[in-house]
């Protein structure tokens, strides 16, 4: 059965020290300015965080064959405990940036992009969502037409993480490349390097939360890339992004776990020291019972997250089925993200009026938490996946 090894706990201590030393003293001003700290990314690369699932022969630390997804979740949890934006930068940088190239790329594509991505010298994005698409990702309107030895891409993508930083090197984009025999659109994944003519990075979004995370829309106007930039086989884009999302859901669960942990720690400390009516507010059952509920949420989120991560690693080793990973990922993502939203609400309530003030971290966690129930598949999508996993009719 799954449990964290001493290596995992050593990594946790390393990342926690990094987050408290490099992120915590600066995050309030970064958040207020919606500033993406580009120079933090190579520091994360120096710790090996972008290479945790990448085999050593490609510059990572995962050993032959790659994938220690549990280690990645530990790192995301610890970064997310200090700030969610920095946690999603790692989560998306690996899960949506590196993983598609690592899993589906050919040797030339891997050698071209992975060394800089693994070292933290560059970031990559994953262009799936479209302005009119949302959860209906298969209804892509972005098209790629093969003209000679080039793909010509037209369309747009929305809400793409790590797509417009100074060090963004490439974005993997899903596009319609034809029509299947049953009339459904044929979707393929294509690598579009940053700076390619015809690719426009739209202005950064003004977001409710994740102010320190880089998020842009992308548009393509006769954007031309070599035919060799096709990622994997033509027509396999739908299957590729579904698997990518399964992995990403576990990572988001780890991010949500970090959020809930932070709120529990902050609110518990406050409840011990804030005095009202002559005693600490934590002496009141109205407060203590709510924090007890958050402790249950944290423990349940931890168990679900690391069970799913363990199953992912076991599947990589050929010992578990993809269906087991898919179901566990959806369960973990659904529970942990909804628990994180509840934890931030409770923590803010415990802080009272101070919780509404930006000087207190719980306000930032409160803003950041909502997107966890939306990104990488909404809560409604997770319930649908879980129901199908139970064998219920589609």
By annotation, the residues acting in catalysis are 376
Return the closest-CA partner of residue 22 out of 71, 82, 94: 82
What is the number of alpha carbons within 13 Å of residue 297 lying toward its C-beta? 31
Return the closest-CA partner of residue 332 out of 392, 251, 259, 390: 251
**DSSP one-letter string for 56-103:** GGGT-SS-TT---HHHHHHHHHHHHHH-HHHHHHHHHIIIIIIHHHHH
DSSP strands (E only) in the chain: 123-127, 143-147, 150-161, 168-179, 185-193, 199-201, 215-226, 230-231, 275-276, 279-280
- Cα distances (angstroms) measured from residue 91 to each of 22, 74, 252: 18, 11, 7
């Amino acid at each position: 059965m799954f449990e964290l090894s001493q290596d995992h706990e050593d990594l946790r201590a390393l990342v926690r020290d990094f987050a408290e030393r490099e992120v915590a003293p600066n995050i309030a001003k970064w958040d207020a300015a919606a500033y993406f700290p580009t120079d933090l990314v190579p520091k994360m690369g120096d710790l090996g965080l972008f290479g945790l699932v990448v085999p050593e022969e490609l510059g990572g630390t995962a050993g032959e064959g790659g994938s220690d997804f549990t280690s990645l979740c530990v790192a995301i949890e610890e970064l997310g405990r200090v700030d969610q934006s920095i946690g999603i930068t790692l989560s998306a940088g690996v899960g949506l940036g590196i993983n598609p190239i690592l899993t589906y790329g050919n040797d030339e594509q891997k050698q071209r992009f992975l060394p800089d991505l693994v070292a933290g010298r560059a970031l990559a994005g994953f262009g799936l969502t479209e302005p009119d698409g949302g959860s209906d990702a298969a209804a892509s309107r972005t098209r790629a037409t093969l003209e000679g030895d080039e793909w010509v891409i037209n369309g747009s993508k929305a809400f793409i993480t790590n797509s417009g930083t100074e060090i963004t090197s490439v974005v993997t984009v899903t596009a319609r490349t034809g029509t299947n025999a049953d009339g459904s659109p044929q979707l393929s994944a294509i690598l579009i390097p940053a700076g390619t003519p015809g690719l426009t990075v739209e202005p950064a979004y003004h977001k409710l939360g994740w102010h320190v995370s880089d998020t842009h829309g992308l548009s393509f106007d006769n954007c031309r890339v070599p035919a060799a930039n096709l990622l994997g086989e033509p027509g396999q884009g739908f299957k590729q992004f579904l698997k990518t999302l399964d992995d990403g859901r576990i990572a988001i669960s780890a991010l949500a776990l970090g959020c809930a942990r932070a709120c529990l720690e902050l609110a518990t400390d406050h409840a011990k020291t804030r005095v009202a009516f002559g005693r600490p507010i934590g002496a009141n059952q109205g407060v203590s019972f709510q924090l007890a509920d958050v402790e249950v949420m944290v423990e349940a989120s931890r168990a679900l997250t690391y069970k799913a991560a363990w199953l992912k690693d076991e599947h990589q080793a050929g010992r578990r089925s993809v269906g087991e990973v898919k179901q566990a990922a959806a369960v973990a993502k659904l529970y942990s993200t909804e628990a994180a939203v509840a934890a931030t609400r409770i923590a803010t309530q415990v802080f009272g009026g101070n919780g509404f003030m930006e000087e207190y971290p719980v306000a930032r966690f409160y803003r950041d938490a909502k997107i966890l129930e939306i990104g990488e598949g909404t809560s409604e999508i997770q319930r649908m996946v879980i129901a199908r996993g139970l064998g219920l009719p589609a």
